[in-house]
Structure 1
Amino acid sequence: MKRRLLAALLLASAIGLAAPPARAQTVAELQRQIDELKALVKAQAQAPSQARGARRGTPVAVRPTHARATDAGTVPAAGRPVESAVAPPVVVAPVPHRFALDEPDTWSDALVPPAPQPLADGPNHGARPRTWFERLSLRGYTQLRSNEFLSGDDTAPAGRSRLRSVHDGGISDRNTFTFRRVRLVLQGDIHERVFIYLQPDFAVNVSNQSGPEGRQHYSQLRDAYADVFLDDERRTKLRFGQQKVPYGWENLQSSQNRLTLDRADALNSGVPGERDLGITLYYTPWHVQRIWDRLARGGQKLFGNYGALGLGLYNGQTINRIEANEDLMTVVMATWPFELDGLGEAFRGQVLEVGGSAYRNRFRPELGSPGLGNGYDDERVGLHAILYPQPFGLQAEWNWGRGPEYDPVARAILTKPLQGGYVQAMVRVDRSPVGPFMPYARWQTYDGGWKVGTGAPRLDTDEFELGVEFQPIKAVELTLAYASMNRREASISRLGRAKGDLFRAQLQINY
């Protein structure tokens, strides 16, 4: 190719020399044309290798080091050299944070914030600024339930408790199928040190819309917060907004990951709905995060995107309720995983996590007795321990304290002691003809007030649950459970406890 082009140039030059003197070319001009032709041939020869490098993801051009960073990475920096619109340089954008149900290596991203990615077009960023849809991801899940009475007090005369649960309105003598949760999560990094999280629920029931009966499938805000990281390693962060209150290990665990159908009464009664509006400081040492990352990659059900140490301040009236006094709820939490490899070969890979949490609050129940003032003392302390199932596991929590509770003798709300917890055993089977599955058994008990109920009624719970969770494919989870319940209904107008046996089923779709 080179020889043919050179011969053509020499032939053209000879013809030019034979032309009239006004068009004659000097030797220097001829040499210049030859040099230009050589450069063109060299550029054509390099073009295929550059194209192959671009297909392999190798950057061809590097952003100049003097480019100025912008706030969000979407506005070009001032002073950047103008790049050709005809042949822009080939650059490779970083892989955005994602969550793929069919790829186990990405599951941990749903439990902890992703590693920071440069969002501004600074000197160390060789790609174009990311757009909003590359910085944010959308995921969610839906839970469809069915509860069937096998025996017991599905109905009762006025003044007597019926078999009901504060966690599942579908436990009723007239319900068959119900949506327990329909969640969507919008999350992502909007800056190297800012992570946002927004979650509504579309399966909320409300009352008094067009008559005495409730209405279903309304939308309610569950989470709306921003994490501001105080260091480059993302070990320390401040969380602002409506968020989960770090009290109780199971309370923090997402319902998408939890093994049992509902949370235990004893711990959840401290923060019903698990959330409040406030500020939390979290800290996670690197070696603790390393253990959690390993467990998440192994498919373990962790407690979520939280720190090993937490300290928070909140309104104290629980989720989506207006603040009712000038007092703040103060919460402290600590949890620590220990690798048990040093105990011998039988414990290789095993992890035991232990910790505790406590809070101090003043709470005002709805429609309580007159003269509530700033509310009632609401204080608790709890402990937890989890031996992750590899394949056998144990989980337990207990808490003690005092809080508002209706007294039928005094006919008033009083501050009373409370206590309760649960013990749970589970086995994890990764391979079987029906896919992965986890059988479990749990016993729970609680004696204390349900402060968010009208008049702060008393709960008196004694329940045993036996179930199994199947996961035939990554997008589908099926839980079947038998429950033997002995409960007081959460109502100040119904007394005593109701008993019964239930068959319960839940189909969860992850997306």
Structure 2
Amino acid sequence: MKNYLTSIAMMLIITFVCTTKSKAQEITEISSNWYERMRLGGYTQLRYNRLFETNENLKCEQCDKSLGKDGGFFLRRARIRLAGNVSKRMYAYLQFDMATGVSSSVIHGLGLKDAYFDLALDDERTARFRIGQSKVPYGFENMQSSSNRLALDRNDAINSAAKDERDLGVFFYYAPVDVRQRLSYLTRSGLKGSGDYGMFALGAYNGQGAGRSETNDNLHVVSRFTYPFQLKNEQIIEAGIQAYKGKYNIPISDENLNRQTLWDDERIAASLIVYPQPFGFQAEYNIGKGPQFNTKTMSTELQNLKGGYAQLMYRIQTDKNVIIPFIKYQYYDGGKKFETDARSYLVKDLEVGFELVINKYFEIVMLYMLSDRTFEDALKPVNHQQGNALRIQLQANY
């Protein structure tokens, strides 16, 4: 009887080992297919901007189209992304937004945001080329995902450099392994990093904005250098500088007395980020020249531009949640090349608010905005608006 039980036990063990080995081989074979390594994810942001609103004529075309009159509940973003390693030296990324405006009345439609692949020159991927439609490496806040940003909108000064922060081109990125690991940590840890766009970047792109064809046979050129310093107390401070140069075709109205559409477009910016550990500080400033509407001459002219922002924040980690109160001030004096007549802007905005992370799937942002904006073109040459509002955003991550 004892020998019989021993034989049965041995047979069960052999069967288990063989089955386990078979499953291991099966898993290995499945995981060797590139499509098994792709990951699906995204996030959705629902906003309401009109609580305690004091001026319904205060709007921001680039920031949030639901600001002001006729604005209601609004899906600011509804992103779906598919990304992963196709091979050891190739990474692919595809992202769509289902909250893209189709017309003035249809505000939610499907639009392409990113479509690119990275080709690495070595197994550690310290040097790589990014090919396709992706973010232009200009400005920390521009490259920072909207799912990570504290303030609801990017600042006008840096964000006016690139429509939708993206364009079609080829970019070279380089960063040593330790720097890449640090940049990845800053995003994964909830410290509001901008992602891994290399320590050094150099690229050429069309320059007319995401989803738009090149219209003037003049490619834009951009370069950036940044470095995340880690102090002995583990505090991380990142400093960077970036610049770009090119030519841009602007849309003009019939009332514009200057019919010229092709203009020089060049900027340089500096960035400084003290990551919230727990106190944080973030600031960027850029200068340059580009097209800007002049109300005195009723025409678009090449003018100097300047502006930036500064943000204070404090990260509070509790047993279950993360709370980050913040205050942000921004200033911009310049044109927006992708708006009618390169619309002239003078922006002075203050925002006070907080982000509450309930868990990794759900976040709430609430802020009070005090805004002073002058935005003028040939169709509306006198347009100075001031106002306040309480803004709320609910974000789901998946």
Amino acid at match of 1:363: Y
How much has 1:301 moved relative to structure 2? 1.3
Distance 1:132-1:292 versus aligned 2 partners, 3 A rule: closer
- AA matched with 1:484: L
C-alpha distance in 1 between matches for 2:267 and 2:70:
36
Percent of paired sites with the same residue: 37
User: Given residue 24 of structure 2, which amino acid in structure 1 is its aligned partner?
Assistant: V
Give 2:386's match in structure 1, choosing from 486, 496, 499. 499
Distance 2:96 2:187 in 1: 25
Name the aligned partner's letter for residue 154 of structure 2. R
Q: What SS does the aligned partner of 1:206 have?
A: coil
Q: 1-side partners of 2:212 and 2:239: how far apart?
A: 32
CA distance in 2: counterparts of 1:383 and 1:47, whole angstroms = 69
Letter in 2 for 1:91: A
- Which residue does the alignment assign to 2:52? 150
Query: Does the residue aligned with 1:493 lie in a helix, a strand or coil?
Result: coil
Give the aligned partner of residue 472 of structure 1.
358
Match of 2:74 in 1: 178
Aligned partner (choices 245, 249, 256) of residue 364 of structure 1: 249
Q: CA deviation at 1:360?
A: 0.2
Q: 1:174 to 1:294 in 2, by over 3 A?
A: closer
Q: Please state if 1:415 is matched with 2:315.
A: no
Q: Is the 8 A contact 1:163 1:489 kept in 2?
A: no
CA deviation profile, 1:97-145 (whole Å, cap 9, x unmatched): xxxxxxxxxxxxxxxxxxxxxxxxxxxxx64563454121110110000
What residue identity is the alignment partner of 1:505? I
8 Å Cα contact 1:245/1:271 also seen in 2: yes
Q: Which amino acid aligns with 1:322?
A: S
Conserved? CA contact 1:153–1:163, under 8 Å? no
CA contact (8 A) 2:289 2:302 kept: yes
Structure number with greater Rg is: 1
2:24 counterpart residue number: 91
Q: Which residue of 1 aligns with 2:207?
A: 316
2:12 maps to what in 1? 48
Q: Which residue of 2 aligns with 1:114?
A: none
- Residue 113 of structure 1: aligned partner: none
Give the match for residue 385 of structure 1: 272
For residue 13 of structure 2, give the secondary structure of its aligned residue in structure 1: helix
| Structure 1 position 293, deviation (Å) | 3.8
Q: Quick one: distance in 2 between partners of 1:48 and 1:335? A: 59
Q: Structure 1: any 5+ residue segments left out of the alignment?
A: 5-40, 61-88, 95-125, 156-161, 208-212, 342-347
2:234 matches 1:301:
no
In 2, are the aligned partners of 1:439 and 1:467 still within 8 Å (CA)?
yes
1:200 to 74, 91, 96: 96
Q: 1:128 & 1:224 partners in 2: Cα distance? A: 25
Report the 3-state secondary structure (helix = DSSP H, G, I; strand = E; otherwise coil) of the residue aligned with 2:179: helix
Query: Is contact 1:150-1:500 (8 Å) kept?
Result: no
Q: In the alignment, which residue of structure 2 is the partner of 1:10?
A: none
Corresponding residue number in structure 1 for 2:147: 256
Equivalent residue pairs, number: 393
CA distance in 2, matches of 1:297, 1:136: 18
Structure 2 unmatched ranges of 5 or more: none
Q: 1:46 to 1:425 in 2, by over 3 A?
A: same
Contact 2:365-2:392 at 8 Å conserved across structures: yes
Partner of 1:278: 169
User: 1:431 Cα deviation (Å)?
Assistant: 0.3
Q: Does 1:229 align with 2:162?
A: no
What residue number does 2:313 align with? 426
Equivalent position of 1:138 in the other structure: 40
Of residues 250-259 and 131-140 in structure 1, the stretch that sits farther from structure 2 once superposed is: 131-140
The one-letter code matched in structure 2 to 1:453 is E
Report SS of the residue matched to 1:183.
strand
Q: More strand by proportion, 1 or 2?
A: 2
Change (3 A) 1:430 1:414: same
Q: 1:397 to 1:3 in 2, by over 3 A?
A: closer
1:193 CA displacement: 1.5
Distance in 2 (alpha carbons) for counterparts of 1:128 and 1:486: 57
Q: CA RMSD in A?
A: 2.3
Question: Match of 1:455, SS?
Answer: helix
